[in-house]
């Protein structure tokens, strides 16, 4: 029985916890959030379970971490590694391993080398592991493409294309991609950084470093996808001419050549959602996940399925490229 604490109870944290609550081999032993609306309630309420879990949501992280005996803490509080570094330190110093959906933790060396070295040393000192993952970054735009280079004698270029129907996702995501905005509103949100998928740089860096390519340059462009017809989702309606979502392309250059292209379009009303990976090389490998992976469902599963690998990893801070292939396992 793996003892798990959940730290950060937004939609992703709740999604992971729902899956863990359904497994016989894992036990939720604590739940931490700062939201006064949540603190004090039984965690089961938030998960929509009729039976109480006997775990009261707490705002006192230190107390939960020191008394729960957690082997692992699922940390889902922020996309910013800088913002969660204090939380990671706190967890590690209490003796628990950390798995986080923080996008910047999935492949952190890009610009965070000192921070990463500190956390790695701290994890080793306390005998625990730190790991960041998720569907993207963490899987479909980095670890899976790497896995698809295995049968290649040579790799010349990698391109991943995701088309996600944001209309099937949670409201915050529909808002995050700008659905329903005007073009100027969208541009303003792009300029202030609030419409942006975090993680393309991390995925591009993980691919390049793993393949022995040194990125000489990395660029990212963000454009709106405009609705051509009215789109109605369970949460909102987008009229023709309004923004339906975002199209974002991260490009990694090696010696001036664009060798890694990560192209993600997330918009309401997207037809034929898919994840397609092209490895240009010897041989070419092209694979498509029909329908694409559902970001929320897949991220929760990837976190849960990675836990056994993290608990059996040596102490330290690891990336998806360091540990054996995770996989689903019957509880």
Burial class (CB within 10 angstroms; exposed 0-12, middle 13-18, buried 19+) of 131 = buried
Taking the complex as a whole, the smallest distance from the CB of residue 164 to a second copy amounts, in Å, to: 13
- Please measure the distance between the N-terminal and C-terminal CA atoms of the chain and give it in whole angstroms: 10
**Strand pairing report for 257-267 and 243-254:** antiparallel
Residues 51 and 44: their CA atoms lie apart, in Å, by 7
300 binds a second copy (CB under 8 A): yes
The binder of a second copy chosen from 44, 53, 141, 144 (CB under 8 A): 144
213 binds a second copy (CB under 8 A): yes
> Which of these ranges, 119-127, 195-203, 262-270, 300-308, lies near a second copy under the rule CB under 8 A?
300-308
The binder of a second copy chosen from 92, 227, 285, 317 (CB under 8 A): 285
311 binds a second copy (CB under 8 A): no
Taking the complex as a whole, the smallest distance from the CB of residue 309 to a second copy amounts, in Å, to: 10
> Which of these ranges, 78-86, 99-107, 260-268, 321-329, lies near a second copy under the rule CB under 8 A?
321-329
- CB contact set of 6 (below 8 Å; sequence gap of 6+): 13, 16, 17, 20, 28, 30, 31, 32, 43, 73, 74, 76
Radius of gyration of the chain (CA): 20
Residues 108 and 121: their CA atoms lie apart, in Å, by 15
Q: Which is nearer to a second copy, 36 or 290 (CB)?
A: 290
156 alpha carbon, distance to own chain's centre = 27
The binder of a second copy chosen from 67, 182, 194, 287 (CB under 8 A): 287
Contact assessment for residue 92 and residue 105, using Cβ atoms and an 8 Å cutoff = no
Helix (H, G, I), strand (E, B) or coil at 311: helix
The binder of a second copy chosen from 132, 167, 250, 326 (CB under 8 A): 326
> Which of these ranges, 26-34, 84-92, 176-184, 279-287, lies near a second copy under the rule CB under 8 A?
279-287
Span 246-265, contacts to a second copy by CB under 8 A: none
> Which of these ranges, 73-81, 90-98, 225-233, 295-303, lies near a second copy under the rule CB under 8 A?
295-303
Binding to a second copy by CB under 8 A, coded x per residue (else -) over 23-62, reads: ----------------------------------------
Q: At what angle do helices 295-311 and 11-21 cross, to 10 degrees?
A: 60
Helix (H, G, I), strand (E, B) or coil at 244: strand
Number of Cβ atoms within 10 Å of the Cβ of 223 = 13
The binder of a second copy chosen from 135, 225, 238, 266 (CB under 8 A): 135
The binder of a second copy chosen from 86, 153, 234, 256 (CB under 8 A): 153
Interface with a second copy (CB under 8 A), residue total 52
In the numeric block, which tokens belong to residue 319? 């990336």
- CB contact set of 163 (below 8 Å; sequence gap of 6+): 265, 270, 272, 273, 274, 292
Residues 46 and 57: their CA atoms lie apart, in Å, by 9
Q: Which is nearer to a second copy, 32 or 264 (CB)?
A: 264
304 binds a second copy (CB under 8 A): yes
Residue listed under structure tokens 């990675």: 306
Q: What is residue 330's DSSP assignment?
A: -
291 binds a second copy (CB under 8 A): yes
- CB contact set of 48 (below 8 Å; sequence gap of 6+): 18
204 binds a second copy (CB under 8 A): no
Q: Which is nearer to a second copy, 61 or 262 (CB)?
A: 262
327 binds a second copy (CB under 8 A): yes
Residues at the contact surface with a second copy, assessed by CB under 8 A: 19, 135, 139-140, 143-144, 146-147, 149-155, 210-213, 281-291, 293-294, 297-298, 300-302, 304-306, 320-331
């Amino acid at each position: 029985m793996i003892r798990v604490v959940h730290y950060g109870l937004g939609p992703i944290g709740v999604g992971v916890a729902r899956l863990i609550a359904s497994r016989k081999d894992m036990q939720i032993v604590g739940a931490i959030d700062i939201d006064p609306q949540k603190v004090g309630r039984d965690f089961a309420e938030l998960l929509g379970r009729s039976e109480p879990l006997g775990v009261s949501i707490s705002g006192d992280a230190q107390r939960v971490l020191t008394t729960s005996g957690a082997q692992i803490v699922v940390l889902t509080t922020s996309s910013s590694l800088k913002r969660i570094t204090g939380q990671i330190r706190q967890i590690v110093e209490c003796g628990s391993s950390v798995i986080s959906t923080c996008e910047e933790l999935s492949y952190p060396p890009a610009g965070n080398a000192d921070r990463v070295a500190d956390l790695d040393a701290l994890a080793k000192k306390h005998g625990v592991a730190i790991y960041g993952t998720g569907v993207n970054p963490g899987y479909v735009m980095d670890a899976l493409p790497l896995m698809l280079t295995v049968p290649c004698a040579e790799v010349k270029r990698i391109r991943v294309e995701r088309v996600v129907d944001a209309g099937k996702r949670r409201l915050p995501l529909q808002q995050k991609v700008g659905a329903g905005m005007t073009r100027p509103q969208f541009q303003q949100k792009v300029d202030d950084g609030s419409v942006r998928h975090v993680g393309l740089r991390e995925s591009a860096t993980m691919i390049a470093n793993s393949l022995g390519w040194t990125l000489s340059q990395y660029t990212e462009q963000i454009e709106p996808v405009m609705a051509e017809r009215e789109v109605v989702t369970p949460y909102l309606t987008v009229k023709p001419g309004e923004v339906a979502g975002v199209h974002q392309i991260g490009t990694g250059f090696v010696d001036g050549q664009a060798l890694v292209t990560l192209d993600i379009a997330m918009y309401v009303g997207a037809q034929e959602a898919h994840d397609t990976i092209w490895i240009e090389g010897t041989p070419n490998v092209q694979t498509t996940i029909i329908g694409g992976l559902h970001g929320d469902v897949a991220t929760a599963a990837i976190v849960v399925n990675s836990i056994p690998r993290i608990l059996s990893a040596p102490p330290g801070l690891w990336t998806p490229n360091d540990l054996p292939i995770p996989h689903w396992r019957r509880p």
